[in-house]
Structure 1
Amino acid sequence: MRHVSILITNEAVLASIVDPRIIFTGANDFLAALGKPPAFNVQLVGLQKEIRLHGGLFSVHTDAVLGEIKKTDLIIVPAFGGDMATAIARNAEFIPWITDQHYKGAEVASLCVGAFLLAATGMLNGKECSTHWRFANEFREMFPDITLVDDRIVTEQKGLYSSGGATSYWNLLLYLIEKHAGRDISIMAAKMFALEIDRKSQSPFIMFNGQKTHEDEPIKKAQEFIEANITEKISVEDLALKYAIGKRHFERRFKKATNNSPLEYIQRVKIEAAKKHLESSRKNINEVMYDVGYSDTKAFRTVFKKITGLSPVEYRNKYNNIN
């Protein structure tokens, strides 16, 4: 039986504590119904016996304080609210314990923005990680040595796991249930909790908002120009010439400032505009395509699916309910 430690961090999001406990204890219930022994010993672990969350609205009583857990098998790092740097500082006492337990053989799984605390351990340096797409730019700035795959729902890197944003952590929890209790129990959990099993990407949910917190003013002006001229066909050469920067140097500066190549940025801005049209208008696919500066149907569909994970038709059917 694997010992699961769900951390009760300061400013933890309550759902990301309750949901893991429900699914792991639920897996034990499914196993019991099949006449099998439990797979998980689940404990809530914090810095003290009682932790108040959400401005004191809720109180969580832990099963154990951190120092009492000498050995665990799986650590769940919940999401937390507020400023990320502040949240890491307020939970700094967890970092050496998480690191020590991992070196003793424990797996560590972060849910949503819990990835910031996992990243702060340094154990993800040189590895891939997922988190909520909304915090992607902030994560990259804080942890440049980690490869953020912000479209991914689940990452696994040598016993370190992370999940995409918000409730997509359920897919990581199902993944862990399958790994440690079997596919049949994972499927049973997915059906019981009405979850879509094996979902791989959070791309359909990402709302692109170009990184503009940098100090490179010509690049910022180029970004604003791209965003103000969605219907136009804009080339990298045109942008470099417009801002009097050599093409290769412009591409390097743009990538450094925005985490996207100029071409990627142009595509993502156009596709974000296309998504809004598909969500809220009666325009057909070709009309939307022309509105965002594409004239080649195949190219538009290819780029749209690459960025969102869905075809334009699938996206409209999913998000547009205009009759």
Structure 2
Amino acid sequence: MLTVAVVALPDTIAFDLATAVETFGRTYLPDGRPAYRVVVCGTEPQVQAGPLRLATDVGLEALEHADTVVVPGRNDPGVPSPPAVLDALRRVAADGTRVASVCVGAFTLAEAGLLDGRRATTHWRAADELARRFPAVRVEPDRLVVDEGQVLTSGGASAGIDLCLHMVRRDHGAAVAAYASRLAVAPLHRSGGQARYIVRNTPGRASGSLEPVLDWIEQNAHRDLTLEDLARAARTSVRTLNRRFHAETGQSPVEWLTGVRVRHAQELLESTDHGVERVARQAGFPSVSNFRVQFRRLVGVSPREYRAAFAGG
């Protein structure tokens, strides 16, 4: 039986912690024996988890005997992690223990230096902040799970289930993981990653100097626009516009425009029953084929799959 130690940090996200406890705790081998022993450990006998108080089984010494250590996220990942936790994570990682994070738990792994030079993911809303604070980490915000061998990270919220099932599959094979996924009422593999959940290219994502032209794009994205049209709206040259966009958004003006159109298309797919051709036209794409290509590139699934997942009623 393998041991999983789940670290209960101060202000831990209860859902993240429970995801690891429940998924590993309800995984069984073909002969019916539990596949894992799960312990919850921390620096204190009790920790606050939003409106809840959680009791821990043992102290951080349990990490020394674990096969896998799981670090849930915290409600405010900007608050420094306890030094004792960081030291313990560094020690077990140096000994070869597998370490994984759920959601913004990636910030704790990054604080401990365990993500330096590695690919990692986190909740898509926190990905830019993770990349800014820890430039040695190669952040991949659209991924549900990033497996770097000894160190694994997962995206937001329910992506923690994907992470746990992925590790179950690594440990015990596809059959055991498939049974665990049925008990969790969750798919063993989800396509599209986090990309389908990301809210793209809203005016507030850039600073003040571009705000007028971003507002203008928001209102005119449905039109047949050229780069010259965008430059005229910004009252500047194409060259200057390109420079300002790259500096403030990390994208070209055309890339930003495409992101706005994709977001508008997502809203139409969610709220209307318009056909794909009409959605493409209303969102401003030059053709249905271009719409399908750009939508899948940015969202990770087809417009039809997106509608099936997110359309109301």
TM superposition score normalised by structure 2: 0.89
For the residue of structure 2 that corresponds to 1:282, the secondary structure is coil
Aligned partner of 1:9 in structure 2 is 9
Match of 1:78 among 69, 72, 78: 72
Does structure 2 conserve the Cα–Cα contact (< 8 Å) formed by 1:211 and 1:258?
A: no
Greater shift in the superposed pair: 284-293 or 98-107: 284-293
Pick the aligned partner of 1:219 from 198, 202, 210.
210
Q: Distance in 2 between matches of 1:193 and 1:116?
A: 26
- In the alignment, residue 52 of structure 1 is paired with which amino acid? Q
Q: Deviations over 1:7-34 (max 9, x none)?
A: 001111112222211221222xx22x61
Q: Which runs of 5+ in 1 are unaligned?
A: none
* Count of matched residue positions in the alignment of Structure 1 and Structure 2: 311
Percentage identity across paired residues of the two chains = 27
1:41-70: CA deviations, max 9, x gaps?
321110022223224xx3322221114543
CA distance in 2, matches of 1:14, 1:68: 20
Task: Give the corresponding residue for 1:64.
Answer: 58
Counterpart in the other structure of 2:309:
318
Per-residue deviation, 1:238? 4.5
Q: What is the match of residue 205 of structure 1?
A: 197
Contact 1:137–1:211, Cα closer than 8 Å, also in 2: no
Structure 2 residue runs of 5 or longer lacking an equivalent are none
Q: Name the residue aligned to 1:179.
A: 170
Query: Is 1:49 the counterpart of 2:45 in the alignment?
Result: yes
Structure 1 equivalent of residue 24 of structure 2: 24
Aligned to 1:97: 88
- Tell me the amino acid that sits aligned with residue 39 of structure 2: Q
Aligned twin of 1:229: 220
User: Is 1:145 aligned to residue 157 of structure 2?
Assistant: no
Q: Deviations over 1:159-213 (max 9, x none)?
A: 1111111112101110011111221110000112111111141222222254746
Answering whether residue 154 of structure 2 is matched by residue 157 of structure 1, we say no
Q: Could you say if the C-alpha distance between residues 95 and 238 of structure 1 is closer, same or farther in structure 2, counting changes exceeding 3 Å?
A: farther
Moved over 6 A (4+): none
**Match for residue 129 of structure 1 among 98, 102, 120:** 120
Q: Deviations over 1:237-275 (max 9, x none)?
A: 54456453563x644542342243333221111110011
Q: CA 1:256 to 1:140, structure 2 compared with 1: closer, same or farther past 3 Å? A: farther
CA distance in 2: counterparts of 1:2 and 1:214, whole angstroms: 47
Q: The residue matched to 2:7 in structure 1 has which SS?
A: strand
| Pairs within 5 Å for 1:223-262 | 223-240=214-231, 242-244=234-236, 247=239, 250-262=241-253
The amino acid of 2:158's aligned partner reads T
SS of structure 2 residue aligned to 1:195:
coil
AA aligned opposite 2:97: A
The reply to whether residue 34 of structure 1 matches residue 26 of structure 2 is no
Q: Residues 19 and 160 of structure 2 are in contact (CA less than 8 Å); yes or no, is this contact kept in structure 1? A: no
- Is contact 2:13-2:74 (8 Å) kept? yes
Residue 138 of structure 1, CA deviation? 2.5
CA distance in 1, matches of 2:62, 2:308: 52
Q: Secondary structure at the match of 2:26?
A: helix
Deviation at 1:131, TM superposition (A): 1.3
212 and 142 in structure 1: CA distance in 2 versus 1, 3 angstrom threshold: farther
Distance change in 2, residues 1:198/1:3 (3 Å): same
Distance change >3 Å, CA 160–CA 295, structure 1 → 2: same
1:3 maps to a residue whose letter is T
* Contact kept in structure 1, 2:63 and 2:92, CA below 8 Å: no
Partners of 2:179 and 2:62 in 1: CA distance: 33
Distance in 2, matches of 1:52 and 1:171, equals 25
Change (3 A) 1:284 1:126: same
**Structure 2 counterpart of 1:203, one-letter code:** A
Aligned mates of 1:154, 1:263 — CA distance in 2 = 30
Query: Which residue, out of 115, 130, 133, partners 2:106?
Result: 115
Q: Distance in 2 between matches of 1:49 and 1:72?
A: 19
Letter in 2 for 1:123: L
- Pick one of 186, 193, 218 that aligns with 1:195: 186
Find the residue that maps to 1:208 and give its secondary structure: coil
When residues 43 and 68 of structure 1 are mapped into structure 2, their CA distance, relative to the original with a 3 A threshold, is closer
**For the residues of structure 1 that align with 2:285 and 2:205, how far apart are their CA atoms?**
29
